[in-house]
Amino acid sequence: MTLEVVAGSPRANLFRRLWPVLKWVLFALVIAFVGQRAWKLWREGDVGSVTIHWPWLVAASALYLIGWLPSVLLWHRLIHRLGGTSSRFDVARAYFAGHLAKYIPGKASVLLVRAGMLADRGCRPSVSALTSTYEVLVCMGVGAAVGLMMAPVVWPKTVIDGLPTAIRPAFEHPLIFGIGVVVVCVVLVPFVARVLGLIAQKLTPHVVTLSPPHLVTPSDTDRPTESPPTQIGSAFLLGWCFFSVTTWLVHGLSLGCTLRAVGVQAPLSDWLIWTGDVSSASFLGFAAMFAPGGLGVREAALLELLTPQPGISQTQAVAATVLLRAAWLVAEILAAVGLSWKGFRTPTRSASEGERLK
C-alpha cells in the first residue's frame, strides 16, 4: 500500500493561513463603517421622531419566529426523505439552537450544532448536516429571488441609475420585471436542483460524534458507511420554494412592526416593500462569509434601503435597523431556551433505534 501526500500550492496554503486574519479585518472594517454611518444619520436627523412602542417590538419578535416555521417543516421533511426519524419538536429545537450558532465564527457552526443535537434523536449527523445545508440554501435562494423581484421598488434610485444602460429600462416596469424573475426561477428549477446538490455536498461539513457512548452501537459499527443521496427532485424543490416565500412575507411584517415600534406610520400597503427590504438585506448578510450572523452587512444594507423611503426619517431608519436585530436575537434566544427546557424535552432516542422502529 503506497501513501501519497499531495501538497497544496504555496499560494493556496498562504491564502488558507491569511484568510482568518483577513476575515476579521473585513468584519472590523464593516462594523466601523456601519457604526460611523449610523451615528452620522442619527446625529443629523430628528431624534425626537423616534418613540419606542414595546408591544410592536414583541409582535416583531413573534412574527420572526413564526416566519421560520416553513424552514423547520422543510428540514423535517428532508430528514425523513433521507431515512431519519426525528420528531418535529426535536427538529425545531435543533433548528433554533442552530440559529444562535450563526454568531460563532464560521458558517458551518450552524450545521455542526444542529447535527450534534439530532445525533441521538433519530438522525445521523451526516444526514442532519446535509439536509440542513439544503434548507439554508433553499431559504436564502428564495430570499435572493424575492429581493431581486422587488428590486425596482426597493433599491435606492442611486443604485438603479448606476446599472448598465441595457438593464435600466427593465426597472421602469416593476410588475413585468417581477413576473419575469418568477418565470426565470421556475424554468431554472431543474438546473438549480442539480446545482444545490453539488453545493450542499461541498459545503456540508464532515460530522463525527465522539461523545455519549450510547450513540454508537455494535450494529452501527458493523454497518458499512454510505454517503447519503445529495439530489432532490425538481417538483419537490419548486413546491417548497413557493412555500418558503411565506418566510420572507412574515419577516417583512416583522420589519413593519419594528417600524411601527419606532414611530413610523408604516401602512400595510407597504408590506411587499418591507419584504423586499428584509429579504435583500438578509441574503447579503448570509453571503458575507466573513461576518458572523451577517452582523454589520445586513444592517448596512437595511439602513441604505430604509433611509430613502418616504415617511421614514434618518433616525427612525437607524433605530429600526438596530431594534430589528435586537428583537430577532431575543426571539432566537427565547426559542432556543424554551424548546430546550427539560420539562418539554422528549425521551432520547438514537438514530439506530429509530431505524429499527421503522
Asked if 184 and 144 touch (Cβ cutoff 8 Å), the reply is: no
Q: Would you place residue 232 in the very low, low, confident or very high pLDDT band (cuts 50, 70, 90)?
A: confident
Q: Collapsing DSSP states into helix, strand and coil, what is residue 168?
A: helix
Q: Where are the domains of the chain?
A: 67-216+245-342
The three cell numbers locating residue 47: 431624534
- Rounded CA-CA distance 126/110 in Å is 14
* 3-state SS record for 324-354: HHHHHHHHHHHHHHHHCCHHHCCCCECHHHH
The Cα 204–Cα 318 span in angstroms is 36
Residues 6 or more apart whose Cβ sits within 8 Å of residue 357: 85
pLDDT-based confidence at residue 4 (cuts at 50, 70, 90): very low
Instruction: Compute φ and ψ for 195, nearest 5 degrees.
Output: -65, -40
CA distances from 111 to 59, 114, 148, 215, 293 (A): 28, 5, 27, 19, 13
Q: What is the pLDDT of residue 235?
A: 87
Q: Has residue 2 got a pLDDT over 50?
A: no
165-214 per-position pLDDT tens digit = 888 888 889 999 999 999 999 998 888 888 777 766 665 655 544 444 43
The 10s digit of each residue's pLDDT in 46-88 is 777 788 999 999 999 999 999 999 999 999 999 998 888 899 9
Maximum CA pair distance of the chain? 76
Q: Which three cell numbers stand for residue 3?
A: 501513501
In this structure, how many other beta carbons lie within 10 angstroms of the beta carbon of residue 70? 21
Pick 201 or 263 by higher pLDDT: 263
